[in-house]
Chain A
Amino acid sequence: MTVSSSPSSTGSIGRSASARRPISRTLSPRRRKEALAAYLFLAPGFLLFALVILYPIGRAFQISLYHWSIAPGLPSQYIGLTNYSHELHDPIFWRSLVNTGFYMGVTVPAQIVIGLMIAVLLDARMPARAAFRTLFYLPVVTSWVVVSLLFRYLFITDGGLINWVLHDATHVSNHNIDWLGQRWTAMAAIAILGIWKGIGWSMIIFLAALQGVPRELKEAAAVDGANAWRRFRAVSLPAIRPVVAFVTVMLVIGGFNVFISVFLMTNGGPLDETQVLLTYMYRQAFSFLDFGYGSALSFTLTVIVFVLSVTQLRLFRRPSEAS
């Protein structure tokens, strides 16, 4: 029994995995045995994955086409794209889209720029490097629930630490700001939490990428008299470009999926002013029990995320191909 049936009969295992052969309908007994073993290894995990992840992907779209009856047994009514046209006339949908866009537009560039800055600072021989890395990464490993409640506490109007600093301690503001009671200040507080929690993640990936840039390249540029900024622009940044692309795409996806912080800091309030797409979806589905409309909202979100990701990957790819 071999691990992989190589066409050559030398007994070497699977070396030829990359050497494509025309697919033959009939597998040799040895290959059949190998395939059987592979399927047995895959079966338990993949069946679970198919049931819990793949099947719901198909269902998500299907449910959005119905006036869904949540009582088991009662028939649901097929209404085509009505749930989607409802979105277009729903001011709260548009507001939650704008709020989500705002969150993404603020947090993504901030996480990239600050994360990259910290990574560059850490990419050198220096004391306490590991300690700094750990500290910056700490918020990333802390649960969203805890940090959301923590920031809700910090942004409390009367007695919160932020207002104490801005009003009582430094007099930047002449009154206590009602952070979570108004739309844009609340969105700002939520975005600040997103940035604070997220920069450690982008930092650690950028740092790993920077450490992969060949030292000789940087030194050669230094010998040519390039200053630190030019060395960074001309050598390091192009070298880590694919990683910047990856981080950007992941952060945009993450930004559109903002949920727990909004849910626990404002719960979309006051009066739906701070709803984002997912908190609005959750309210429609699990407070109003409108599963059809909730599914339409989450499917819309998925399409937006997908289109944005593909567009970004295209944008990032082009210049390096041209060069």
Chain B
Amino acid sequence: MVGGNVRRTRAIVGGRLTLLTAGAIVMIVPFAYMVVTSFKQNALVLEIPPQFIPHHPTTANYHGAWSSNHFSRYFVNSLVVAVCTTVFAVLLSSMMAFAFARFRFPGRRLLFGLLLIGLMVPTMMLLIPQFLLARQLGALDSLWGLVFFYTAMNLALNTFLLRSFFQDIPRELEEAMVVDGAGPWTRYRRLILPLSRPALATVGIFSFLASWDEYVWALTVINDPNRRTLPIAITLFQGQHSTSWGLVFAASLIAIVPVIAIFVAFQRQFVSGITSGALKA
């Protein structure tokens, strides 16, 4: 009996592993092929049969991508915009979340409801009026303009996630600080923020990646070649007629390796951030 059970359990685990491995291969092959292609000479990227391990691997595409079309400048542009967006978005949304989580004031439900509307409205629906607004504000063709709009686009989700985290912080700690005469700013800075590091990391990562990867808004408002960001730069390697696929994927990998590194390093924050919204709903 017992032996049979063990054997059965083993068979089930084996079956699970087989299915999962098959699925994982499907997920990973396109990535692997992208990496392989990025190390191929351009003449070979559409060769039949394809070389899955290039006979003469070359790093020429990486040198080419990095030095051509001001790619390194676009990398820096993206980095600056993403870092500034992250700082502003985390600061502003944590302040809003603190107000929603810990204060009673007239209009609280209304304002929070408006924030939820912002969470549900498809971003691209607002593209045209936002473009007109950016033009009015003189925010076209400007990296600060990107930071301004990206920060605003991240506020609703960040505030929503942080509010529920702040609500779970025991109030007793805050009461003790009140007794010592601490005002709201002190409590926010010295108590709420230090206790919320994991949640702040989660929304910080989300904000960073959202602006690092953002394509449509940048495509719409940036014309000046000096102010392009990485996603725009990557698509520029893909010409209308002759595409240098090796360059495209070398550039792509330069852009996504930091993302994957962040993801692997902060997996727990990722998962908690993604699931907390869903499981609370």
Contacts and interface: CB of A to CB of B under 8 A. Distances in A.
A145 B259 contact: no
Interface string A1-27: 111110000011111010000010001
B253 to A, nearest CB: 8
B105 A39 contact: yes
A156 B106 CA distance: 59
Contact of B114 (A54, A151, A153): A54
Interface string B239-254: 0000001001100100
A271 interface: no
A142 to B, nearest CB: 5
Contacts of A38: 99, 103-105, 108
Nearest to A159: B46
A225 interface: no
A138 B126 contact: no
Contacts, number: 291
A304 to B, nearest CB: 10
Interface stretch (B54-62, B63-71, B128-136, B193-201): B128-136
B247 to A, nearest CB: 11
Given A14-B104, A153-B37, A299-B125, A44 B17 contact: no
* Chain A interface residue bracket vs B: 35 or more
B37 A141 contact: no
B65 to A, nearest CB: 13
B154 to A, nearest CB: 10
A229 interface: no
B46 A138 contact: no
A1 B249 CA distance: 58
A238 interface: no
Contact of B49 (A13, A23, A164): A164
* Chain B interface residue bracket vs A: 35 or more
Interface of B: 13, 16-17, 19-20, 23-24, 26-28, 30-31, 33-34, 37, 45-50, 92-93, 95-96, 98-100, 102-106, 108, 111, 114-115, 117-118, 120-130, 132-133, 135, 148-149, 151-153, 155-156, 159, 171, 174-175, 178, 183-184, 187-188, 209, 212-213, 215-216, 220, 231, 234-235, 238, 245, 248-249, 252, 255-256, 259-260, 263-264, 267, 270-271, 274-275, 278-279, 281
Interface of A: 1-5, 11-15, 17, 23, 27, 31, 34-35, 37-39, 41-42, 44-46, 48-57, 59-60, 63, 72, 118, 121-122, 124, 126-128, 130, 132, 134-139, 141-147, 149-154, 156, 158-161, 164, 168-169, 196, 200-201, 204-205, 208-209, 212, 242-243, 246-247, 253, 256-257, 259-260, 264, 278, 281-282, 285-286, 291, 294-295, 298-299, 301-302, 305, 309
27 contacts: A3-B102, A3-B171, A3-B175, A14-B103, A14-B171, A35-B105, A38-B108, A42-B96, A48-B155, A51-B133, A56-B129, A124-B16, A130-B267, A136-B23, A137-B270, A142-B259, A145-B252, A150-B252, A153-B34, A161-B33, A164-B49, A257-B122, A257-B123, A257-B124, A260-B216, A278-B124, A301-B122
